[in-house]
């Protein structure tokens, strides 16, 4: 497919850029203008700094900001620390293969479903307290503690850590595959260095640059998350992003200007913190450089294998227990406090809820399939187009474009969705399938690109050339040989994209204009005060879709190529 001077493929990079950058940039502009007092749809047409004055005077602002900053920063730093700690202490030990196998299912659990399950575990009326009541704790009623929704946002922080550690571990494993870890450990240890020292001096300095952008996405996400914060975060005041969301949906439409100012402030805050992280990385590198070669070979920190194992087990146990509790609650008839087990089981809540979730499930699945498939076509087009370029330009492009690809993941969603909504209303496109699929595409596309690009670029193109010569058709070679050989990574990237789409909460709300409810928007909206049994059914349904698709993406190639030894890698 390469080499033709006028290949239609050359339009793919532009098309792709337009597909996911135009909405982001327009959305940002559409949010900044109201922040300056300009929002014609509500009759505000003069530029003024009044929204900023209102924002800064708002009584909830200091509390909301501190909840956001404390939870977001500590969740990011702790997630990075814990995932590196687990890696340095457990890499290639007996526990490591369990960790590797557990990651995909852990990541398949949507954030919302996980947070709900976790709240069933740790809430004052949750299972952990039921286990020790009343024989140990003496509680005949749930204690009056604020564990979930605590004002310091500790439970929100912990929930984010549980979800971010597996994410960072997965990317760490991918990055380590590009380094010669085995022989670096060998050389380092034969020079007399304890394994932990080899990690901190030789491997992490090479690893972190590859994790830099994922870490920044974790930072941006933790500082701007809405759905998790609604489920398990503090409410009076809520984290800043939730407060902004409330302002945008305030019955008093003039609050939209304050929302615009808030969204802009959050965008600026995240930009500032990303800059601080990048600067801090440089400073750490600068200060630690002389230490790298001081020759010290041992460190007491190197002997904390047990702690690392505990951290890994806790992360997994939290997910497994949350999931099990969701299953139990969904089949519960009645379950009074402080019993550790339900008094009766029943199918009632499944049969009652299934007709209600069928619609939202179908909507979510359809949007997920459409956005993932469109994104895949765009990504394949871009990657295939790359091959017509000289290698030096590909390297430059992949270095330069990586920040662009990450952009939608680094900008807070609440920072540009309102702007998109305003523009869609102007164009009479709000609440249409077209715009809903498009906005999902914005978030799905980066993930598909990031999961697929590395494998796709290392494909041995000679297979495709041989096939093209044999079949006389580059197209047939592409579809019959290249795509089939790459079926496994392609299907996996589709599954990742689909799961990302399913989990979208804010984009669906802001662009759907109330006309679309997906399983995720329904589940989050129930979280506030509904019956646990209903919530459990919804949360499981939310988990069901990505789970099925991941299973398909992993199982299908294994089944199709079961007699092909060389397709197993």
Partner 1 sequence: MSLVLDAVEIYRNGSKLFDPVSLHVAPGRIITLMGPSGCGKSTLLTAVCGNLDPGFSLSGTITLGGRVINDIAMEQRRIGILFQDDLLFPHLNVFENMAFGLPPRLKPEQRRQRVASALFMAGLEGFEKRDIATLSGGQKARVSLLRTLLAEPQAILLDEPFSKLDRQLKESMRAFVFQQIKRLAVPALLVTHDIDDAADDNILELSSGSYHA
DSSP code at position 239: P
Structure tokens at 277: 């992280």
Which of 101, 183, 399, 428 touches partner 1 by CB under 8 A? 183
What does the chain come to in residues? Answer: 569
**Stretch of 111-119, 134-142, 186-194, 498-506 lying at the interface with partner 1 (CB under 8 A):** 186-194
- Between 296 and 515, name the residue whose CB sits nearer to partner 1: 296
Min CB(142)–partner 1 separation in Å: 49
Min CB(92)–partner 1 separation in Å: 10
Min CB(182)–partner 1 separation in Å: 9
Q: Compute and round to an integer the Cα radius of gyration of the chain.
A: 25
- Between 251 and 290, name the residue whose CB sits nearer to partner 1: 290
Min CB(293)–partner 1 separation in Å: 4
Residue 187 lies near partner 1 (rule: CB under 8 A)? yes
Structure tokens at 52: 């900023």
Site string for partner 1, 30-69 (x = CB under 8 A): ----------------------------------------
- Between 187 and 558, name the residue whose CB sits nearer to partner 1: 187
With H, G, I as helix, E, B as strand and everything else as coil, classify residue 383: helix
With b for 16 or more beta-carbon neighbours within 10 A and e for fewer, the 261-291 pattern comes to bbbbbbbebbeebbeebeeeeeeeeeeeeee
**Stretch of 179-187, 311-319, 543-551, 561-569 lying at the interface with partner 1 (CB under 8 A):** 179-187
Site string for partner 1, 233-272 (x = CB under 8 A): ----------------------------------------
- Between 190 and 391, name the residue whose CB sits nearer to partner 1: 190
Phi, psi (rounded to 5 degrees) for 345? -110, 155
Residues numbered 476 to 535 that lie near partner 1 (CB under 8 A) are none
Site string for partner 1, 268-307 (x = CB under 8 A): ---------------------x--xxxxxx----------
Min CB(450)–partner 1 separation in Å: 23
Min CB(312)–partner 1 separation in Å: 20
Q: How many CA atoms lie within 13 A of 352 on its CB side?
A: 14
Q: With the C-alpha atoms ordered 549, 550, 556, 559, is the resulting torsion angle positive or negative?
A: negative
Min CB(396)–partner 1 separation in Å: 16
**Stretch of 182-190, 422-430, 538-546, 557-565 lying at the interface with partner 1 (CB under 8 A):** 182-190
- Between 301 and 486, name the residue whose CB sits nearer to partner 1: 301
Query: Which residue matches tokens 């009645």?
Result: 334
- Between 297 and 387, name the residue whose CB sits nearer to partner 1: 297
Min CB(205)–partner 1 separation in Å: 5
- Between 294 and 569, name the residue whose CB sits nearer to partner 1: 294
Q: Return the bridge partners of 334, or none.
A: 344
Residue 184 lies near partner 1 (rule: CB under 8 A)? yes
Q: How many residues bind partner 1 (CB under 8 A)?
A: 23
| Spatial separation of the C-alpha atoms in residues 187 and 177, rounded to whole Å | 17
Report angle CA 309, 314, 320 to the nearest 5 degrees. 125
Min CB(100)–partner 1 separation in Å: 17
| Spatial separation of the C-alpha atoms in residues 338 and 88, rounded to whole Å | 41
- Between 202 and 325, name the residue whose CB sits nearer to partner 1: 202
Residue 177 lies near partner 1 (rule: CB under 8 A)? no
| Spatial separation of the C-alpha atoms in residues 176 and 86, rounded to whole Å | 14
Give Dmax over CA atoms of the chain in angstroms: 79
Min CB(457)–partner 1 separation in Å: 20
Min CB(131)–partner 1 separation in Å: 38
**Stretch of 35-43, 150-158, 192-200, 319-327 lying at the interface with partner 1 (CB under 8 A):** 192-200
Min CB(95)–partner 1 separation in Å: 14
- Between 206 and 249, name the residue whose CB sits nearer to partner 1: 206
Task: Please choose, from the candidates 506, 364, 519, 503, the residue with its C-alpha nearest in 3D space to the C-alpha of residue 421.
Answer: 506
Min CB(292)–partner 1 separation in Å: 6
- Between 272 and 285, name the residue whose CB sits nearer to partner 1: 285
Q: With the C-alpha atoms ordered 464, 468, 469, 470, is the resulting torsion angle positive or negative?
A: positive
- Between 272 and 292, name the residue whose CB sits nearer to partner 1: 292
- Between 204 and 548, name the residue whose CB sits nearer to partner 1: 204
Structure tokens at 414: 């609440």
Could you tell me how far CA 507 lies from the centroid of its own chain? Answer: 14
| Spatial separation of the C-alpha atoms in residues 444 and 398, rounded to whole Å | 19
Site string for partner 1, 193-212 (x = CB under 8 A): xxx-----xx--xx------
Q: With the C-alpha atoms ordered 214, 216, 219, 220, is the resulting torsion angle positive or negative?
A: negative
With H, G, I as helix, E, B as strand and everything else as coil, classify residue 345: strand
Contact 265, 43 (CB under 8 A): no
558's CB contacts (< 8 A; 6+ apart) are none
Which of 8, 192, 333, 528 touches partner 1 by CB under 8 A? 192
Whole-angstrom CA distances from 64 to 154, 223, 226, 524 are: 14, 11, 12, 20
| Spatial separation of the C-alpha atoms in residues 569 and 556, rounded to whole Å | 14
Min CB(98)–partner 1 separation in Å: 16
Q: Is the peptide bond before 346 cis (omega within 30 degrees of 0)?
A: no
- Between 46 and 190, name the residue whose CB sits nearer to partner 1: 190
| Spatial separation of the C-alpha atoms in residues 524 and 508, rounded to whole Å | 12
| Spatial separation of the C-alpha atoms in residues 401 and 205, rounded to whole Å | 23
Structure tokens at 503: 């989990």
| Spatial separation of the C-alpha atoms in residues 186 and 196, rounded to whole Å | 12
Residues that bind partner 1 (CB under 8 A): 180, 183-184, 186-187, 189-195, 201-202, 205-206, 289, 292-297
């Amino acid at each position: 497919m390469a080499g033709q001077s006028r290949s239609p493929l050359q339009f793919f990079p532009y098309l792709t850029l337009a597909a996911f950058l135009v909405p982001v940039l327009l959305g940002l502009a559409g949010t900044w203008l109201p922040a300056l007092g300009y929002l014609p749809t509500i009759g505000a047409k003069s530029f003024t700094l009044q929204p900023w004055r209102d924002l800064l005077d708002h009584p909830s602002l200091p509390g909301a900001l501190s909840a956001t900053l404390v939870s977001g920063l500590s969740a990011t730093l702790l997630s990075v620390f814990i995932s590196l700690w687990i890696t340095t202490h457990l890499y290639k030990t007996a526990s490591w293969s369990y960790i590797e196998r557990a990651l995909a299912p852990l990541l398949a659990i949507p954030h919302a479903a996980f947070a709900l399950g976790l709240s069933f575990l740790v809430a004052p009326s949750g299972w952990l307290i039921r286990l020790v009541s009343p024989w140990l704790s003496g509680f005949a009623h749930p204690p009056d503690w604020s564990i979930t929704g605590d004002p310091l946002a500790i439970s929100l922080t912990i929930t984010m850590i549980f979800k971010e550690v597996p994410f960072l571990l997965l990317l760490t494993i991918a990055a380590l595959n590009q380094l010669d870890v085995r022989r670096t450990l060998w050389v380092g240890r034969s020079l007399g260095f304890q394994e932990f020292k080899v990690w901190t001096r030789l491997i992490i300095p090479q690893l972190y640059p590859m994790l830099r952008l994922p870490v920044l996405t974790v930072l941006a996400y933790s500082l701007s998350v809405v759905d998790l914060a609604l489920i398990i975060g503090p409410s009076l005041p809520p984290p800043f992003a939730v407060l902004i969301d409330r302002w945008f949906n305030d019955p008093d439409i003039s609050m939209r200007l304050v929302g615009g100012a808030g969204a802009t402030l959050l965008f600026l805050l995240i930009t500032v913190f990303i800059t601080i992280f990048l600067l801090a990385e440089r400073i750490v590198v600068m200060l630690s450089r002389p230490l790298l070669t001081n020759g010290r070979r041992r460190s007491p920190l190197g002997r904390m294998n047990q702690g690392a194992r505990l951290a890994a087990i806790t992360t997994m146990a939290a997910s497994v227990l949350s999931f099990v509790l969701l299953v139990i609650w969904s089949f519960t008839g009645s379950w009074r406090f402080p019993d550790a087990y339900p008094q009766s089981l029943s199918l009632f809540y499944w049969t009652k809820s299934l007709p209600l979730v069928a619609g939202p499930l179908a909507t979510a699945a359809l949007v997920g399939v459409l956005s993932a498939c469109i994104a895949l076509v765009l990504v394949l087009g871009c990657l295939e187009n790359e091959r017509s370029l000289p290698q030096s330009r590909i390297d430059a492009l992949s270095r330069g474009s990586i920040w662009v690809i990450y952009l939608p993941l680094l900008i807070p969603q609440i920072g540009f969705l309102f702007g998109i909504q305003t523009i869609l209303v102007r164009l009479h496109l709000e609440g249409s399938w077209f715009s809903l699929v498009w906005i999902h595409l914005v978030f799905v596309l980066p993930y598909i690109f990031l999961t697929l690009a590395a494998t796709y670029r290392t494909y041995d193109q000679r297979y495709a050339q041989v096939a093209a010569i044999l079949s006389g058709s580059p197209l047939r070679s592409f579809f019959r040989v290249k795509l089939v050989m790459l079926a496994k990574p392609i299907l996996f990237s589709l599954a990742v994209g689909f799961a990302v789409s399913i989990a979208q909460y804010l984009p669906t709300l802001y662009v759907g204009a109330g006309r679309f409810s997906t399983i995720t928007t329904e589940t989050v909206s129930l979280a506030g005060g509904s019956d646990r049994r209903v919530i459990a059914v919804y949360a499981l349904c939310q988990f069901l879709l990505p789970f099925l698709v991941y299973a398909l993406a992993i199982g299908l190639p294994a089944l199709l190529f079961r007699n092909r030894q060389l397709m197993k890698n």
